[in-house]
Amino acid sequence: MSLHLSSDSNTRVSIHANELVARMGIVIFLWMIATIPWLLNINNLLEYFVTIFNPCAGNCLNLYQPEKWSELRWIIAAFLGLLSITPIINLQIWVFSKPGLTHSEQRMLRLVLLLAPVIFLIASYVTIAELLPRLYSIGHAVHSEYGFVTKYDAVSLIYFAMTLLWIQTLVVTSSAVMVCSGLTGNLDSSNANWWRLRVYGFTSLVSILSHYDRTTNGMMITLTTIFVVELISRPWTTKSPKYDVKLRRLFTEEGEIISNLELVCGCVNGPIPQAEQFLTIQDVCTNKLAHEDLIRIIGNLKPSIISVYCCNKYPVWDRLSSIYQGIEIIVNADDYAASEPTFDR
């Protein structure tokens, strides 16, 4: 279903595509520039990490895979270069996405772009500077107790740390999207699968492609990542929806089943039905946030007909009809007797 809100820019798809390509080109160029300083100082950086990861006081580190060491130099420099331009990336995402988002979606995106980098930096410091050195030391102590002559591969130590950092990147980003969507009211149990399909699908694709050379490990890492994100976002994916929406099913003369969303606005006094399938959204025609809630409901349920009661803002519903051209909108339907109770503001 094509959706074009009044707040959206009236621009052709090709122009949006050209803008996206241009912004991606700027990001890639700046990424390459930001990677150069890290690459020039990568030896000092790797020396520092090898020092803090070294689990023994003596000389127990060897380099068993020189080709992997060269690969790690480029990967780490590129990763740090990407982190260096995170503010620019977030700015490009915000400027490009903002015109096509509703108010609540804009708040969600702002939270994601602000919180995700901060949480990632904190988690990375704890993992790299505190957790991993202790884990390596504990493992070395266990080996020493068994009387082993310990020799460790420096590439394996660094590679494991990089893998952990990349998993943290996926977990923090995906969790931030899910949690911030829940905090801003965009995610609940009624549309949780819609969010899962998109967030988990993208995360799985990136994770599997990142570990294409290690099929078994890549699949396990992907499943673990999704499991952790699901646990973090569980309070919002199981949260009851803001509105209890029930569609009325009808048969047409041709025997086709259609669904009717019966909506009470209440901006004016008038006869209203008293039945549980009616959805009441106070002042939906004038309240911007309530209108966005309605758009979200329509997008999730896709009713065939929308029957609106107690509302006199006909131009609002005319604009909504132009957005959802496949949905029939009937304002102030007179299916009910005038003796029924009225809506008192």
pLDDT digits (tens, 9 = 90+) for 232-272: 999 999 988 888 788 888 777 777 888 888 888 777 665 55
pLDDT at 345 over 70: no
Q: What percent of the chain has pLDDT over 90?
A: 31
Q: Which residue has the tokens 């070294």?
A: 54
3-state helix, strand, coil in the chain (%, to 5): 60, 10, 30
The overall longest dimension of the chain from CA atoms, in Å, is 92
Query: Model's pTM, two decimal places?
Result: 0.79
Between CA 166 and CA 118, with CA 50 as vertex, the angle to 5 degrees is 35
Give the H or E element holding residue 122. Answer: helix 103-125
Q: Where on the phi/psi map is residue 332: left (φ > 0), alpha (ψ -120 to 50), or beta?
A: left
Q: Where on the phi/psi map is residue 266: left (φ > 0), alpha (ψ -120 to 50), or beta?
A: left
pLDDT at 289 over 70: yes
Q: Determine the Cα–Cα distance for residues 56 and 36; give it in Å rounded to an integer.
A: 33
Please, which pLDDT band fits residue 323 given cuts at 50, 70 and 90? Answer: confident
pLDDT, tens digit (0-9, with 9 covering 90-100), for 62-114? 777 777 888 889 999 999 999 999 999 999 999 999 888 888 889 999 999 99
Residue 278 sits at φ, ψ, to 5 deg, of -85, 135
Strands, E assignment, the chain: 61-62, 152-153, 248-251, 257-264, 279-280, 305-309, 328-331
With a CB cutoff of 8 Å and minimum separation 6, the contacts of 290 are 281, 282, 283, 284
Mean pLDDT check: name the lowest of 80-84, 178-182, 281-285, 326-330.
Answer: 281-285
The number of beta carbons lying within 10 Å of the beta carbon of residue 176 is 24
Residues 26-54, buried b or exposed e (16+ Cβ, 10 A)? ebeebbeebbeebbeebeeebeebeeebb
Tell me the C-alpha to C-alpha distance, in Å, between residue 243 and each of 106, 155, 190, 235, 321. Answer: 21, 54, 10, 17, 22
For residue 215, which amino acid is it?
T
How confident is the model over 15-25, as a mean pLDDT?
A: 88
- Report the candidate in 98, 94, 95, 90 with the shortest Cα–Cα distance to residue 118: 90
